[in-house]
Amino acid sequence: MTQPVPMVDVIRGDMVESRHAGHAVICDASGGIVRSWGDPDLAIYPRSSCKMIQALPLIESGAADAAGLGPRQLALSCASHNGAAIHTRPVTEWLNALGLGEDDLRCGPQEPADIPARDALIRAGDSPCQVHNNCSGKHSGFLTLNRHLGAGSEYHEPDHPVQRAVLEAFEAVTDETSPGYGIDGCSAPNFACSVHGLARAMARFAAARSGQGTREDAMVRLREAMVAHPELVAGEGRACTSLMRAMNGVAVKTGAEAVFVAILPDQGLGVAVKIVDGTTRGAETAVAAILSGLGVLDPQHPAARALLETPIASRRGIPAGRIQPTEALLTGWS
C-alpha cells in the first residue's frame, strides 16, 4: 500500500511540532486521476463529506418536489451545521411542514458548535435536542424521502428503504461496490469507498448539467444549493462556509475524521482528501492548498490565508507558530 504523504505541518518556534499525512485525489468527470497523493485505492469512510450523495434519492425520487423543498432545505440536507438559530429554525419548520417533530429524528442530540446557541441553551437550563445535531438537515431529508416511500419510522437502519436508496446512489456515483459501512455519529450507515471513488463522485457532481436526466438534474440542484447558501452548509467561522464564500461556484464539504471534498463545476473536477489521523485542521489546510493549486481559491483571500498560514498564538495573543501545507501540496501545479 502506498504510504500517506505529509501534507500539513504544525510549526511552533523554529520546529515542526506536529505533522499530518494523508491521501488525496483530483479526478475528472471521466473518472481519470488528474493528480494524486498517497494511495487512491485506500478505502475510507467519507463521513459527512458525502451528504450531497446521500441527498440524491431525496430529489431523484420526487420526494423533495412533493414536499416543496427549496434550495435552503437542500443546502441543509447536505449540511454539517453549527446548530445556530439559522439552522435549527428552518429544520424545525421543515419537520413541522411534514407533520413531524424533533422526536421523529434518529440523529441523537448534540451540543451546538455555535457559541451563542450553546450559551443560550445553558442559560435557559435546556438540554440540546436532535434538531441541534449537525446532521439534522440530512435527517430531515431522510424523513422527507421516507414519507414519500411510505416506509417505517427507523429510517436510519442500514436495511431500511431510505438507506438502501442511499447505497444505490452511492455505488452508482462512486462507480464502486462499497466494501461495507460504519455507523456514523448520527446513527445512519456511512458507506465506504476509495479516495478515488469519492473524488470520482465529486467530479460527476462537477460535470453535471441540467436537462441531462434525473441524476444530473439532482446533482446540479444540490451543488447550486450548497454554493448559494454556504452559511447553511456549516456556519460562521467554519471552513466550508468561508471557503465557498471565497470561491466562485465551487462547493466544498467536510467530513468527520478529516475528510474533505470539493466540486469544481467550471473545471469539471472533483477532489477528495483524507488525513489519516482524523484531524480537522489537517484536512482543512490540505484542501485549501489543493484548491489554491487548482487556481479556484486565491491564496491571498483572507479565508485562504486563514488555512494556508493559520496563526498559532498563546492565550494572551503572543504569536507562537503557524499551520501550513507541506511542499507536497504547494508544488507541482502547472
Q: To the nearest whole angstrom, how small is the minimum distance from the Cβ of residue 109 to a copy of itself?
A: 6
- For 158, 190, 300, 316, 324, the CA distances from 53, given in Å and listed in that order, are 16, 11, 31, 43, 30
Please report whether residue 279 would count as binding a copy of itself according to CB under 8 A.
Answer: yes
119 forms part of the interface with a copy of itself (CB under 8 A)? yes
CB nearer to a copy of itself: pick between 314 and 334: 314
Residue 45 is a binding residue for a copy of itself (CB under 8 A) = yes
Using CB under 8 A, which of 110, 254, 292, 324 touches a copy of itself?
110
Contact positions with a copy of itself (CB under 8 A) in 133-162: 133
Q: How far is CA 191 from CA 233, 283, 288, in A?
A: 21, 20, 25
Q: Which of 32, 182, 213, 295 binds a copy of itself (CB under 8 A)?
A: 182
Question: Does 277 sit near a copy of itself (CB under 8 A)?
Answer: yes
Tell me which of 38, 141, 230, 282 binds a copy of itself, using CB under 8 A. Answer: 282
Which helix (H) or strand (E) segment holds residue 219: the answer is helix 214-228
Task: Name the minimum Å distance from CB 237 to a copy of itself.
Answer: 16
* Region of 48-56, 103-111, 161-169, 223-231 interacting with a copy of itself (CB under 8 A): 103-111
Q: Is 263 left (phi over 0), alpha (psi -120 to 50) or beta?
A: beta
Which residues have a Cβ under 8 Å from the Cβ of 257 and sit 6 or more positions away? 45, 47, 274, 278
- Cβ proximity to a copy of itself: between 237 and 295 the closer is 237
C-beta of 123 vs 327, nearer to a copy of itself: 123
User: Is there binding between residue 77 and a copy of itself (CB under 8 A)?
Assistant: no
Contact criterion met (CB below 8 Å) for 206 and 251: no
CA–CA separation, 248 vs 303, rounded Å? 13
**Interstrand relation of 193-194 and 43-44 (parallel, antiparallel or unpaired):** antiparallel
Residue 259 burial (C-beta neighbours within 10 Å; 0-12, 13-18, 19+) = buried
- The smaller minimum CB distance to a copy of itself, of residues 234 and 323, is found at 323
Please state, in angstroms and rounded to a whole number, the distance separating the CA atoms of residues 171 and 175: 6
Tell me the site size for a copy of itself, rule CB under 8 A: 48
Residue type, 299: P
CB of 277 to a copy of itself, least distance (A): 4
Cα separation, 96 vs 207, whole angstroms: 35
Which positions touch a copy of itself (CB under 8 A)?
Answer: 10, 12-15, 17-21, 43-45, 106-110, 119, 122-123, 133, 179-187, 190, 192, 257-258, 276-279, 282, 314-321
